Amino acid sequence: MKIAFIGFGEAARAFVSTLRETGPHQFSAYDRLQGSGTPAEERLRRVASELGVALAADAHAAVAGTDWIFSAVTAADSLDAGNSVAGALKSPQVFIDINSVSAGRKLETAAVVTRGGAAYVDMAVMAPVHPRGHRTPVLLAGPDCARLEPSFAGNGFAFEIVGGEIGAATSNKMIRSLFVKGLEAITVQALLAAREAGCFDRIYASLSTSFAALGWPAFAEYQLERVATHGVRRAAEMRESARTMEELGFAGGNELASAIASVQDEIGRLGLKIAGGDLAAAFSQVLDARKEISAAQAAE
């Protein structure tokens, strides 16, 4: 098969690394980092070369003559990604939208990319893409999924078709993410506040006793590391979760998801690499970084 990726970040790279094992596929990609002249672009080009992915000059060139097109960009860019290739898509090409966005956003994107006859698949990736790559469990939805089921199975995807309506797959993820990313945010915020207030040991002892099944301290360390490393991306996903809640008529859910996004975004933008082994020190590391930024802003 000829397979293209719009956006060549973590998910796209993970998919390629394992899809290569399923057949003599040809891969192309276009990423907005191209032409930026940044260290990130240098890494992008190095990884693409290592994986045998041809970087195209633009989005249209990336998808020309391909069978499948995966859209794997940030949540905020998902509709733009669809618009960037809409004029180049036609039957029997398949546009597979793996972005973490609301059902409404996927419907908007589908309306754009199917104008020329291409099929659209709503795919929701339900677990971290490493180490399983494209074999990570996914949900599929859309009117063409039943027809495409043999192709997904033949290429080793671990999938479940959850309906013929676009948005059915992503709704599962957005609602689940409200809980998962919310648990991260509330854990990190509570322990940061406890450290700042000087009652960390008491709060930690209380939480780890009351919720022992979560597996402390590894649980808290993991939650902090996830937010610090991926908070900005998770915040974008939570804004789409807020949109999902709004589409479903839950105003409170909208506000909750927006608050989770704020916590994720603030800590993610600190750019910290969390040192493991000392939980209290790790939370102090975050507090110190926050104070440094506040002091710098006050001095401006």
CATH code for the domain in which residue 100 is found: 3.40.50.720
d(Cα 123, Cα 68) in Å, to the nearest integer?
Answer: 13
Q: Is the peptide bond before 92 cis (omega within 30 degrees of 0)?
A: yes
pLDDT of residue 248: 92
Beta-strand ranges (E) seen in the chain are 2-6, 26-30, 53-55, 68-71, 94-97, 119-125, 138-141, 159-163
**Domain finish residue from 135, 164, 193:** 164
Q: Is the pLDDT of residue 300 over 90?
A: no
189/281 same-domain check: yes
What pLDDT is stored for residue 218 in this prediction? 95
Closest to 95 (Cα-Cα) out of 77, 122, 115, 76: 122
pTM above 0.85, yes or no: yes
Asked if residue 113 lies in contact with residue 82, where contact means CB atoms within 8 angstroms, the answer is yes
Beta bridge partners of 140: 123, 161
Q: Of 131, 164, 197, which marks where a domain is finished?
A: 164
> Are 137 and 179 members of one domain?
no
Q: Are residues 230 and 279 in the same domain?
A: yes
Torsion of CA 112, 113, 117, 119, to 10 degrees: -130
Q: State whether 160 and 201 are in the same domain.
A: no
Report pLDDT for 253: 77
Q: 203 with 143, same domain?
A: no
Residue 256: pLDDT band with limits 50, 70, 90: very high
Q: How far apart are CA 133 and CA 121, in angstroms?
A: 18
Domain limits at 20?
2-164
- Domain end point (choices 114, 142, 164): 164
- What is the number of structural domains in the chain? 2
Task: Indicate the SS3 state at residue 256.
Answer: helix
| DSSP per residue, 60-93 | HHHHTT-SEEEE---GGGHHHHHHHHHTT--TT-
For 83-136, the pLDDT digits (tens) are 999 999 999 999 999 999 999 999 999 999 999 999 999 999 999 999 999 999
Using alpha carbons, select from 85, 67, 58 the residue that is nearest to residue 25. 67
pLDDT tens, position by position, 8-61 = 999 999 999 999 999 899 999 999 999 999 999 999 999 999 999 999 999 999
d(CA 84, CA 205): 52
Here the CATH number for the domain that contains residue 217 is: 1.10.1040.10
For 299, residues 6+ apart whose C-beta sits below 8 A from its C-beta are: none
- 29 and 158 share a domain? yes
Residues 103 and 60 in one domain: yes
Chain centroid to Cα 137, Å, comes to 14
Amino acid at 35: G
**Among 134, 109, 129, 132, which Cα is nearest to 119's?**
109
